[in-house]
Amino acid sequence: MLHFLHPLWLLAMTGIAVPVVLHLWNDRRGKVLPVGSVFLLQGASRRISFSRRLTRLWLLVLRCLMLLLLSLLLAGPVVRLAAAKPEKGWVLTAGVGDFAQGGVPGAASAAGAGIPAADLVRDGLAGDGAQSGTTAGLPADTRAAADLPAVADSLIKAGYKWQEMRDSNYWEAFAKADRDAPAGVPFYIFTTGELIHFAGIRPETERPVHWTILPDSGESHWVGRAWLASSDSIVVSSGVSLATSTVFRHGVRPAGGQRVYDTTLHVLIGADRREDARYVEAAVRAVGEYTRRKIDVAAAGPTGVYSADWLFWLSTRPLPAGHFLHVWKYEAGKEKKAATWMEGVEVSKEIEGAPAGGMDNGGMKDNGEMMGGGGMKDNGGAIDANMGGNRWTDGFGRGILSAVGGADTFRFYSRLDPAWNGLVWDPCFPILLKGVLFGQDSLSRQDRRALDPEQIIPTVKKANAVKVAVTHRDWDAGFICWILLLLVFILERIVSFLNNE
């Protein structure tokens, strides 16, 4: 049925009388006939012929139709249709991969599962680490709706709409579904409670929400890195993640007479001031003693050709010739006073032009996990080359240590000098430097820490107004009026042009 949002505009249809009157008031003057002489013509009064017949009928019809369509368009025509059958509710379930990623409780640790030492070191250098633990249930590509929890499956069979939460952040997926679903439709949600799937602000809603937390996937054991400690032993960095906590351990294993790959980290230090080089050398050697990692430290001069994993170029002069996987260098520029802090250390001077925004400390929290539940790939002896941005920032968000070109070059917008900051005298300096050299212990998808259900369920707020049941839905017909009005206007112009020819 056709309805109008602004029916008062229908009175404008009376405007069709205007073109009708103009057509009836047809003033037709006589034609002028040329004659050879006016001697025989008698004087006569001027006569005007007047016709009450409609002329140019098609042009009149088109112009009247244009006025009618314009009135309809302004009146806001809508077609009222019967409303669809109300939905019983929505069933939201975790993505297929999220069900299958968990390990089985009691899975054996790779560090003690008989993996050869040479393979551990090689895999540690490759960056993926040796992981263990079987997946829960069937493989991800073979799961179907039948693998859902029994309650969810029964709701779907009863006519509830099923939607899979494909976003790894369940709160983001819930917020999207909350916007798409009709108001008042209840949600029945079935997910795990693992921390990696919840990030940001807990959402709010006005609809009923029934969130069922599925049992956790148990323990997760993995090997993060492995490196050569001596000629007959290796150090294995492993992790164990439970629903309540995650623990990282460093253990020493015998090489077992096998030929393992040399994992010595070669560090080259060049500086204009001898004191700056001594600060870095002391911090690097402290990192080596703590991690039991073999680190070779050497000095670099302005001349010569060098090759190293890391070059600490504590100068604004051009880099020396050679091949370096990663470079830390002083950024050139004008120094300025700054009363702020950086990673808990007081800063009194900076270099102008420090970049704002970006990641802070590689985008990781102090406990090593990525913000928002992600993970950083560890390549065994260096930073992930795809991770750029600000690593150390001051209190204003400016990057004191900024990574460019992935993580190949680090620009330091300060100096390793007590007159600039308190970093070189602070105990956290070796810890911060360890995060730059080797990255942080990564949780990635092995994180099994879980939230309490009370922390997961969205906040249900009262509706601002009483919701009325919708028994119909309106379809806007204004678009059709626009099209017809345009076509009639084009046709009227064509007819008017042909009549004037």
When pLDDT is averaged across residues 189-195 and rounded to a whole number, the result is 89
Model pLDDT for residues 16-40, shown as the tens digit of each residue: 888 777 777 665 555 666 766 666 6
Phi, psi of 263 (to 5 degrees): -115, 25
pLDDT band at 5 (very low <50, low <70, confident <90, very high): confident
Bridge partners, 3 (sequence order): 78
d(CA 248, CA 233): 19
When pLDDT is averaged across residues 39-58 and rounded to a whole number, the result is 60
CA angle 317, 318, 319 (to 5 degrees): 115
- Token pair 């939607």 is at which residue? 163
DSSP strand pairing (187-191 vs 90-94): parallel
Total residue count of the chain as it appears in this document: 501
In the predicted structure, residue 82 carries a pLDDT above the cut 80:
no
Give residue 362's pLDDT: 37
Model pLDDT for residues 465-484, shown as the tens digit of each residue: 445 445 566 788 888 889 99
pLDDT band at 138 (very low <50, low <70, confident <90, very high): very low
- Token pair 């916007």 is at which residue? 179
DSSP strand pairing (49-51 vs 77-82): unpaired
CA dihedral of residues 211, 212, 218, 221 (deg, nearest 10): -20
Mean pLDDT of the chain: 75
In the predicted structure, residue 487 carries a pLDDT above the cut 90:
yes
In the predicted structure, residue 384 carries a pLDDT above the cut 60:
no
The two structure tokens encoding residue 97: 């991969």
Among 405, 385, 391, 382, residue whose Cα is nearest residue 362: 391
When pLDDT is averaged across residues 323-348 and rounded to a whole number, the result is 90
d(CA 357, CA 355): 7
Residue 216, Ramachandran bin (φ over 0: left; ψ between -120 and 50: alpha; else beta): beta
* Alpha carbon separation from 493 to 61, 70, 234, 388 (Å, rounded): 13, 17, 89, 62
The residue ranges of DSSP E strands in 17-126, in sequence order, are 26-28, 49-51, 77-82, 90-94
- CB count in 10 Å sphere of residue 349: 16
* Alpha carbon separation from 233 to 236, 257, 407, 437 (Å, rounded): 10, 9, 30, 22
pLDDT band at 374 (very low <50, low <70, confident <90, very high): very low
The two structure tokens encoding residue 126: 């490759």
The two structure tokens encoding residue 451: 């939230």
Bridge partners, 335 (sequence order): 351
Give residue 305's pLDDT: 84
Contact indicator for 59, 499 with CB cutoff of 8 Å: yes
Give residue 326's pLDDT: 92
What is the identity of the amino acid at 174?
A: F
Expressed in angstroms, the distance from the first to the final Cα of the chain is 44
- CB count in 10 Å sphere of residue 375: 18
Strand, helix or coil for residue 209 = strand
